Structure 1
Amino acid sequence: MSERAPVSTPLAHVREAIAHSCKIARREPDEVTLIAVSKTRAAEEIEPLLEQGQRAFGENRVQEAQAKWPGLRERFPDTELHLIGQLQSNKAEDAVALFDCIHALDRPSLVKALAKAFDKTGRRVPCFVQVDVGDEMQKGGCPVAELSGLLDQARDADIPVRGLMCLPPANIEPAPFFALLGKLALDHGLPDLSMGMSGDYETAIMLGATHVRVGTALFGPRD
């Protein structure tokens, strides 16, 4: 995590909660990257977090990020951008040019598109493979049974796979799904876990999350 924000801010509250969860889990707070989910948020909503020292942000759509982040990055050039939404193969080159990490690698066609984009741009962006831990095809994600094959394809294409990512089913206790993702990562020798959002990031941290994606707890409810 980056430097501490003033205690009265939502950012400070989330950081304190992360630190508390890490203490319970006997982990260090700097083992957890807080990704502020800024999708649908205007630049003027994002700037206060940047000014408080937050540097990792998550966006769902390539086009939206292209519109608002170049200007913000001129002022805060050390910002890390994470693509946390589903990525269309035809947007792979734009995503590789803009983002520092991609959390939604989930199918063979995207492996091919990203490998081509890496070669064309000269950038090799670390990726998380999104796993469909809840068997919900509408959310995207690689089925658990197909994970080994997809990881082999990604490695053969020289894609830097950093870890696994998941979106547990809504309105169900998320801990078993986080535990499943952790086991899959361990089985495949992957160090990082992108899991946990505003309502469950503390549980995710206690089950090994290295990256938590928090939006509402930082920005408030969306309109």
Structure 2
Amino acid sequence: MTETSTPLQDVRAAIARAAGIARRDADEVTLIAISKTHPTESIVPLIGEGQRVFGENRVQEAQEKWPPLVEAHPDIELHLVGQLQSNKADDAVALFDCIHSLDRPSLVKALAKAFDKAGRQVPCFVQVNIGAEEQKGGCAIADVPGLIGQARDAGIPLAGLMCVPPFEVEPAPYFALLAKLAADNGLPGLSMGMSGDFETAVMLGATHVRVGSALFGERG
């Protein structure tokens, strides 16, 4: 960060540089500011700088924090990037504008019911367990086509695929694999890349990057 720039300006500049290397338009990349665990007073300055897309991990935390901010700034777009329990589907659909963690048939059913009840649909990313890690959520790679088919049959609007690569491993092969899976299944969106690797993700086709600590500092 330079003496005159802000973290948000630096992240946006890094996205633009990575997009330029890949001969992409930086406007093709949506920056999601991951505000989980950060208080309202940390979020307001980013809103003041023009950031309008934010991400939260937990439905309850978002319910406590975001309604007044959304009321004050109706153009804010709120994304759920953490795991979603089926019994929280109604609450998630009421609050969020996009869900990044559709990963199992039971959640397909819960979301389809929640959409019908709310009279609104929320675009969803299918989360893929791209590194086959037992401790992480996400659909197994082999099950991706089947889950996509179930979601489409249920009328769920699919935005694309999402992944979190294994920690401290070169992420590029995992991002490339997610891009291939998305292309093979006719999905346009790629939610991939976080603070430590979003530039690599942009160069490999990310349409949404989920950046927290590079904007807010370490989690509270």
TM-score where L is the length of structure 2: 0.98
Contact 1:7 1:13 in 2 (8 A): no
Q: Do residues 49 (structure 1) and 46 (structure 2) align?
A: yes
| Paired AA for residue 79 in structure 2 | H
Instruction: Quote the RMSD (CA, aligned, Å).
Output: 1.0
Residue 91 of structure 1, CA deviation:
0.1
Give, in whole Å, the separation in 1 of the partners of 2:95 and 2:125: 16
1:82-97 pair list within 5 angstroms:
82-97=79-94
**Structure 2 equivalent of residue 196 of structure 1:** 193
Q: Which one of the candidate residues 100, 112, 115 is aligned to 2:112?
A: 115
| Paired AA for residue 84 in structure 1 | V
| Paired AA for residue 35 in structure 1 | I
- Indicate the percent of aligned positions where both proteins have the same amino acid: 72
Secondary structure at 2:125 match in 1: strand
Give, in whole Å, the separation in 2 of the partners of 1:67 and 1:7: 33
Give, in whole Å, the separation in 1 of the partners of 2:18 and 2:186: 24
Give, in whole Å, the separation in 1 of the partners of 2:4 and 2:67: 29
Secondary structure at 1:142 match in 2: coil
User: Which ranges of structure 1 fall in alignment gaps of 5 or more residues?
Assistant: 1-5
Residue 137 of structure 1, CA deviation:
2.6
Contact 1:124 1:159 in 2 (8 A): yes
Q: Do residues 209 (structure 1) and 214 (structure 2) align?
A: no
**Structure 1 equivalent of residue 156 of structure 2:** 159
Give, in whole Å, the separation in 1 of the partners of 2:72 and 2:119: 25
TM-score where L is the length of structure 1: 0.96
Give, in whole Å, the separation in 1 of the partners of 2:87 and 2:133: 24
Alignment length, in residue pairs?
Answer: 218
Higher relative contact order (CA 8 A, sep 6+): 2
Q: Do residues 181 (structure 1) and 191 (structure 2) align?
A: no
**Structure 1 equivalent of residue 18 of structure 2:** 21
| Paired AA for residue 142 in structure 2 | A
Q: Encode CA deviations 1:54-96: one digit per residue, 9 max, x unaligned.
A: 0000000000000010011121110000000000000000000
Q: Encode CA deviations 1:132-171: one digit per residue, 9 max, x unaligned.
A: 1100132100000011110110000000011000000001
Give, in whole Å, the separation in 2 of the partners of 1:212 and 1:47: 20
Give, in whole Å, the separation in 1 of the partners of 2:72 and 2:147: 38
Indicate the larger mover: 68-77 or 80-89: 68-77
Give, in whole Å, the separation in 2 of the partners of 1:93 and 1:170: 32
Give, in whole Å, the separation in 2 of the partners of 1:24 and 1:119: 43
Secondary structure at 2:50 match in 1: coil
**Structure 2 equivalent of residue 3 of structure 1:** none
Runs of 4+ in structure 1 displaced over 3 angstroms? Answer: none
**Structure 2 equivalent of residue 130 of structure 1:** 127
